[in-house]
Amino acid sequence: MKRTCFLIIYPFILAVVYLTLLISCDKDDDSNNENNNDNDWNLEMILPVGSTGNSPDVVIDNLGQPHISFLDTDDGYVKYAHKSGTSWNIENVGYYGTSTRGAGLNSIDIDAGNHPHISYYDFNNSELKYACKNSESWTTITIPMPKDPLDISGDTYYSHTNENSIIVDKNAGVTHISFLMWGNYSGYSLGYWNSDLDHSLIVDGSDGRQNAIALDNNGNPGISYYNNTTNSINYAGWNGSSFDIEVISSMNTINWEFQLTSLAYDSDNHPHIAFYGAENDGGDIYKYAYKKSPTWTIISTDYTSGYPSVALCLDSGGKPHIALQASMGSMKYNLVHTYYNGSTWENTKVDENTTDIDNCSITCNNDIVAIVYETDEGAMKYATKSLNK
């Protein structure tokens, strides 16, 4: 009886083992597939695993081609990557040093002629630089700093620091840059400069970390940022002669170099901000805020993170698209795209990583949403998705 039973079960066991091996092979193939993601995201490798690209930023031109700035922590150069056909071309912009501190160290935009404009912090010389390319070469200047108002002698200027953001007015041809600066008397402050000014302005004398700049349809600048003094997410909007500051939400103290705020305007000049903010229970979560009345409306997303990074863009209908690094537990982090349809969040996984996905940047252009990001393995990737699908 025992032998008969064994003979009957043995072929069954072999079949189960065979099927298990097939399933295991299929899983291994999927885990190594670069397009193992949700909802028609197309992934491209800009820099392979083991590379040294850091803090990427992206913008798409009117031809649908991406332009990316990033830091190369191996040779210490700010670099510019642009796509021609199916290949990526990468060139040096300027030497910044060998610091590996996080996001906000460089930012990119393009003008009406699709020429790149990049702001970056030169650690080697402790200077905030602005570089633009109108032909075959780059022109670079140092951003002038304002005087520290708390120095009674009137002889002390602010010093440059690392965080900055750039936007180009494609109609007027004016470049606008927001940045964090340090005063020996005032401490950290938020600064602003545009290419029509011979000096910079003090926007907020109490802090200005994690700043992001955008322009409304009239060319007026606005800046979102984190104020570590008040533990708040703030918005500074240009009123024609100066900046008006509004507190949007509270935020727990986070000593973090990655991007925690992002700003965009819709066609009616309403500001929209994505940020990493405090919850009522004392925790933190990614949030989205917009202002279409005298008060701000704040909506929490479905995600939190131990290593937050967030970026926002608006599609042609004014709907927000947010790229964020989401905690999935067990030290696992996914790159997530979340879209607010007016009542609920629609979430899709863009890329999955077993350790960490770091800085990300997002842009919307016509019917395309594009994200550039880096991973802990040293890769830098570019993800695109059609909004018509």
Q: What is the pLDDT of residues 115-173, one digit of tens each?
A: 999 999 998 888 999 999 988 899 999 999 999 999 999 889 999 888 999 999 999 99
pLDDT-derived band at 305 (thresholds 50, 70, 90) equals confident
Domains of the chain: which residue ranges? 1-32, 38-386
Tell me: the pLDDT tens digits for 190-208?
999 999 999 999 999 999 9
Angle at 123 between CA 117 and CA 126, to 5 degrees: 95
For the ranges 8-22, 94-108, 195-209, 289-303, which has the lowest average pLDDT? Answer: 8-22
Using a pLDDT cut of 90, give the percent of the chain over it: 61
Q: How far apart are CA 372 and CA 67, in angstroms?
A: 10
pLDDT-derived band at 354 (thresholds 50, 70, 90) equals very low
Note the pLDDT of residue 355: 59
Instruction: Report DSSP state, residue 177.
Output: E
Note the pLDDT of residue 1: 32
Average confidence score pLDDT of the chain? 85
- Three-class secondary structure of residue 360 per DSSP: strand
Tell me: the pLDDT tens digits for 25-45?
333 333 323 344 566 899 999
Note the pLDDT of residue 23: 35
Note the pLDDT of residue 278: 74
Q: pTM here?
A: 0.88
* Across 267-283, average pLDDT: 85
Q: How far apart are CA 360 and CA 369, in angstroms?
A: 13
- Given a cut of 60, whether residue 20 has pLDDT beyond it is no
**Top CATH class, 38-386:** mainly beta
- Given a cut of 90, whether residue 21 has pLDDT beyond it is no
- Three-class secondary structure of residue 231 per DSSP: coil
pLDDT-derived band at 260 (thresholds 50, 70, 90) equals confident
- Given a cut of 50, whether residue 241 has pLDDT beyond it is yes
Note the pLDDT of residue 29: 34
- Given a cut of 60, whether residue 2 has pLDDT beyond it is no
Note the pLDDT of residue 242: 96
Per residue, the 3-state secondary structure of 261-284, as one string, reads: EEEEECCCCCEEEEEEEECCCCCE
Q: How far apart are CA 94 and CA 139, in angstroms?
A: 10
- Three-class secondary structure of residue 209 per DSSP: strand
Distances (CA, A) of 258 to 80, 154, 211, 319, 349: 20, 34, 11, 24, 20
